[in-house]
Structure 1
Amino acid sequence: MKNIVIGSGPAGRLGSLELGKLGEEVLLIEKNHIAGTCLNEGCMVICALTDITKYIDASKRFNSYGFIKSQVDISYEKIVEKIVETQEVLRKLNQMENESVGNQVIYGEAKIEDGIVKVNDESFEYENLLIATGARPFIPDIKGKEHGLTNKDILKIDDVPEKLNIIGGGIIAGEIANIYSTLGSDVNIIARSSFLKELNAETKRYVLEKIMPDVNVYENTNVVEAFENKILTENGDELEGTPFFATGRTPNSEIAEGIVELNPDKTIKVNEMMKTSVDNIYAAGDVTGGYQLTPVARKEGITAARNMAGYGNKVSYSCIPQTLSLNMEVSFVKNENSECSEDDKATISFPGLGGPGAFWNILSGDTGYTEIEFDKAKNKINSINHISPSSVSDVAYLSYLMRMDYDLDDYDDFLEIHPSTDTNYKIIKNMWL
């Protein structure tokens, strides 16, 4: 077999698809379900549940305005049933997509031994190997950790927990808190350091006051013990509720131990071509660490595939846009390579506007918030924190402007479809003034 790909998450699936499109012979091996964490346990599940919470939030708003009189009756069991049903459809489509370019897909747990991949009592030699085995939830070593849930358990819960203690302070913790708080849980977030430190202070304040006002946040607090229906903090406080760990990810790199070089955190060490310490072995996606984002994993998988096929390609990580999926999206991007001096830095901020999805938020005054730092000497954006119903597309467009090192005048010809990315125009207009 010329090319073997182990793992069919965003990195492995797109990598194998790219190899197939380039006319390469490919064997794709998946241990569980095709499409990996994203579809089966991660962002797609979060997005599906957040679609429900956005509907609940809109329903409450319309009822408060008096032009709709309704009561939303939620069946968590039915929601889970339909998510699983949709996942099954998408798995079939993803497999068909890979097979349509001539790739072979098999299921089983792979092992690498002496230049051979073994799976289901079969052995396959390879010219090139791509390891894209992803990552799994990291659970801190605290007493009673076996009582805690993780994102892997969301579709196994019978009903919405009455009370929930989310241990962790990052994006996943925020998204889980938003979902279950909207569904009716009493939610606590217990963060070892700061909550949502990816965001600036005013953006974080808006999230807590406007989007998740019913969530209790405990910062700089460690959990020392977990029980089935409560947790104990280092301060001796007992917080009732089911423990839920959102404490990061750990790489599924055991398959590569002793074969390629690993980083101190056990992620697989790769260069900008996604090549490991062994010439014909590549790695991509969450197993390599870095940005644990589906679009980045896809980019890494495609980069690895092109190099495996002999087409030199490198991956760049500048200006990566990110989003916190809540009842109103919170998107952000930063140019880590900006050389802007302190004297040339300028910051503007303004409330959201009545763009797409925000019209009925105007009466309550919660249309969002935007804060931008830019280089006034070079007329370029340094960073954006943006809350609006259209922030996902807005920041994606603007991050491209930043990544290509364009100045704002280059963006003058951008023409949006109204209403869609109107906020782009508003952002740029404020920076020009």
Structure 2
Amino acid sequence: MKNIVIGSGPAGRLGSLELGKLGEEVTLIEKNHIAGTCLNEGCMVICALTDITKFIETNNTFNNHGFIKSQLDISYEKIVEKITETQKKLRKLNESENKSVGNNIIYGEAKINESHVEVNGESLNWDNLLIATGARSFIPDIPGSEYGLTNQDILKIDKIPEKLNIIGGGIIAVEVANIYSTLGSEVNIIARSKALKEIDNDTKDYIFKHAIPKINLIEDTNVIKCDKNKVITDKNEELEGIPFFATGRTPNSEIVKDIVELNSDNTIKVNEMMETSKDNIYAAGDVTGGYQLTPVARMEGMTAARNMANYPNKISYRAIPQTLSLNTEVSFVEDEKNNCSNEDIANIGIPGIAGPGMFWDILNGKTGYTKISFDKKQNKIKKINSISPSSVSDVAYLSYLMRIDSPLDKYGDFLEIHPSTDANYKIIKNMWL
């Protein structure tokens, strides 16, 4: 059976890899670079730069304590060069991985009709088709928007901007703000409504007061015009600095807009088996909307692949853990399917966890923050917001308990590795059980 996968980001790459492992005939078509937005202009770029800003902040902490004296000489040009070099190595690894299961990879722009795909002048028939074409940065229709940068331009900037106006208040906006603020830019975040609406208010307050205090947050404000080095808001403010748009994503669904049904936001409409409105056409990843996260895209791609190979399965979006990559990680998760009443909710807040990576911040009073909401009646976790170097692994572990509906008394045998998952021990074993 012939399977064609269009797009090699997390959804398409993992989907095609899964099909190959299942013994299916697969052709993977990629327009630009393998691994999609994540590796080439998204999360991996953000993580690489945040690794550097974490080092800068640690260096500053040690200097302030007085036991190390050092002055950093930062070359943004060299940082970009080394990120690009690493990307090339990872692309080769990702390509080799897919070819190792017998998959054919074609680089070129695909065009689709109801019976075949055209690429590089060649016509390819398919039995099953997976659309995993991702999404691109949304640019608002305002005067001067052509002057604005997006995440796609981060590796094209030749030097650290002196001043930066980040338009948008979501996770990407805050991550980019943290990077350039730590590198020395004066940064404004301009949010149309409220920033970080995905995160608990107490956690948000901690982030802007303690984790990124140098960033100027401007909420309930629209940018109505951009220039090369300034923006103008609907409050008649002129803010100096390069405009940077972090205003959401637009799905790359044009390739099938006349073939399958789209949602009102132009994302591809799919069911829980990742099937579209057209038989034997599937879609996965950012092009379908929803959680625009690499692990979710992988999960969707693999779900689609298994169904394409006649191994029926359905996807579940219960308790999806997320993170905000700052110099101290912020992670959060909520079990939306736990519909307990407010009377059954108990909140436990820990103002600081001096766990892994936090020892030298105790003197600064910056040891993080964790808040967990429990369903008292069912003895289960409802929601977690955590700020600590170990929050990524902590929340991933705890979100698994939420997904399998595990009561907290089954957590008593958990044995942490010190110092790593101490937060789990303190929150669950010492404070609840």
Aligned-residue offset at 1:409: 1.0
| 1:93 equivalent in structure 2 | 93
Instruction: Tell me whether 1:413 sits opposite 2:399 in the alignment.
Output: no
| 2:30 equivalent in structure 1 | 30
- Residue type of the partner of 1:373? S
Alignment of 1:395-406 (within 5 A): 395-406=395-406
- Residue type of the partner of 2:135? A
Distance in 1, matches of 2:266 and 2:197, equals 24
Distance in 1, matches of 2:320 and 2:176, equals 22
| 1:241 equivalent in structure 2 | 241
Answer yes or no: is the 8 Å Cα contact 2:188–2:215 preserved in 1.
yes
Answer yes or no: is the 8 Å Cα contact 2:285–2:300 preserved in 1.
yes
* Partner-residue secondary structure (3-state), 2:109: coil
| 1:228 equivalent in structure 2 | 228
* Partner-residue secondary structure (3-state), 1:204: helix
- Residue type of the partner of 1:148? G
* Partner-residue secondary structure (3-state), 1:224: strand
- Residue type of the partner of 1:172? I
- Residue type of the partner of 1:19? L
| Farther off after superposition, 192-201 or 229-238 | 192-201
1:92-135 Cα shifts (integer Å, max 9, x gaps): 00000000000001100000023110000000000000000000
Answer yes or no: is the 8 Å Cα contact 2:253–2:266 preserved in 1.
yes
| 2:68 equivalent in structure 1 | 68
Answer yes or no: is the 8 Å Cα contact 2:318–2:337 preserved in 1.
yes
1:141-168 Cα shifts (integer Å, max 9, x gaps): 1110000000000000000000000000
* Partner-residue secondary structure (3-state), 2:398: helix
Distance in 2, matches of 1:26 and 1:139, equals 35
| 1:299 equivalent in structure 2 | 299
- Residue type of the partner of 2:167? I
Distance in 1, matches of 2:246 and 2:431, equals 37
TM-score for both structures, normalised by structure 2: 0.99
Distance in 2, matches of 1:77 and 1:428, equals 45
| 1:194 equivalent in structure 2 | 194
Instruction: Tell me whether 1:357 sits opposite 2:336 in the alignment.
Output: no
1:284-328 Cα shifts (integer Å, max 9, x gaps): 000000000000000000000000000001100010000000000
* Partner-residue secondary structure (3-state), 1:363: helix
- Residue type of the partner of 2:177? A
* Partner-residue secondary structure (3-state), 1:96: helix
Instruction: Tell me whether 1:43 sits opposite 2:34 in the alignment.
Output: no
| 1:338 equivalent in structure 2 | 338
1:178-221 Cα shifts (integer Å, max 9, x gaps): 00000000000000000111111211111111111110010000
Distance in 1, matches of 2:206 and 2:341, equals 28
1:17-76 Cα shifts (integer Å, max 9, x gaps): 000000000000000000000000000000000000000000000000111000011000
* Partner-residue secondary structure (3-state), 2:271: coil
Distance in 2, matches of 1:243 and 1:200, equals 28
Q: What fraction of aligned residue pairs are identical, expressed as a percent? A: 74
Q: Which residues of structure 2 form unaligned runs of 5+?
A: none
| 1:14 equivalent in structure 2 | 14
Instruction: Tell me whether 1:164 sits opposite 2:153 in the alignment.
Output: no
| 1:264 equivalent in structure 2 | 264
- Residue type of the partner of 2:126? Y
1:226-257 Cα shifts (integer Å, max 9, x gaps): 00000000011000000000000000000011
| 1:325 equivalent in structure 2 | 325
Distance in 2, matches of 1:41 and 1:339, equals 38
* Partner-residue secondary structure (3-state), 1:432: coil
| 1:113 equivalent in structure 2 | 113
* Partner-residue secondary structure (3-state), 2:188: strand
1:314-368 Cα shifts (integer Å, max 9, x gaps): 1000100000000000000001111212211111101222211111111111010
Aligned-residue offset at 1:416: 1.9
| 2:53 equivalent in structure 1 | 53
* Partner-residue secondary structure (3-state), 2:90: helix
Distance in 2, matches of 1:309 and 1:73, equals 53
- Residue type of the partner of 1:134? G
* Partner-residue secondary structure (3-state), 1:244: strand
- Residue type of the partner of 1:348? I
Distance in 2, matches of 1:308 and 1:363, equals 56
| 1:102 equivalent in structure 2 | 102
- Residue type of the partner of 2:329? E
TM-score for both structures, normalised by structure 1: 0.99
| 1:80 equivalent in structure 2 | 80
- Residue type of the partner of 2:226? A
Aligned-residue offset at 1:431: 4.1
Distance in 2, matches of 1:430 and 1:253, equals 49
- Residue type of the partner of 1:427? I
Instruction: Tell me whether 1:285 sits opposite 2:312 in the alignment.
Output: no
| 2:2 equivalent in structure 1 | 2
- Residue type of the partner of 2:148? G
* Partner-residue secondary structure (3-state), 1:362: helix
Distance in 2, matches of 1:282 and 1:352, equals 46
Instruction: Tell me whether 1:383 sits opposite 2:383 in the alignment.
Output: yes
| Farther off after superposition, 295-304 or 417-426 | 417-426
Aligned-residue offset at 1:415: 1.7
Alpha-carbon RMSD across the aligned residues, in angstroms, is 0.8
Distance in 1, matches of 2:430 and 2:287, equals 41
Aligned-residue offset at 1:6: 0.1
